[in-house]
Amino acid sequence: MLDVNQKIHAIDTALEHVLNGPKEGVEISEYEIDGLRVKKRNPIELIKELQKLKGALVAKTRPRYLRYVF
């Protein structure tokens, strides 16, 4: 199992692969990260879904509240 930061890094890597795919003549529409499979009809939808997943993971790492002591 990957921790949250490792998952975020894996998503960034996946996004790079999807974006570089057309340059190499390969269209990527499916990706699996730590047992979670994301499959879309085209790379643009896959990119949007990976960005949503990354946003949800980043939100988990942020504190829910801040406490100020004066």
Residue that wins the pLDDT comparison between 50 and 67: 50
Alpha helices in the chain (DSSP H): 4-24, 43-61
**Is 70 domain-assigned?**
no
Rg (CA), the chain: 15
Residue that wins the pLDDT comparison between 54 and 38: 54
**Is 68 domain-assigned?**
no
List the domain range (segments joined by +) for residue 24.
4-61
Residues ≥6 apart with Cβ < 8 Å to 30: 37, 38, 39, 40, 46
pLDDT, tens digit, 9 for 90 and up, residues 4-19:
888 889 889 888 888 8
Number of domains in the chain: 1
- Residues 44-51 have a mean pLDDT of 87
**Is 40 domain-assigned?**
yes
CA 16 to the chain's CA centroid? 10
CA distance 22 to 28: 8
CA distance 68 to 59: 21
Percent of the chain whose predicted confidence (pLDDT) is above 70? 93
pLDDT band at 24 (very low <50, low <70, confident <90, very high): low
**Is 9 domain-assigned?**
yes
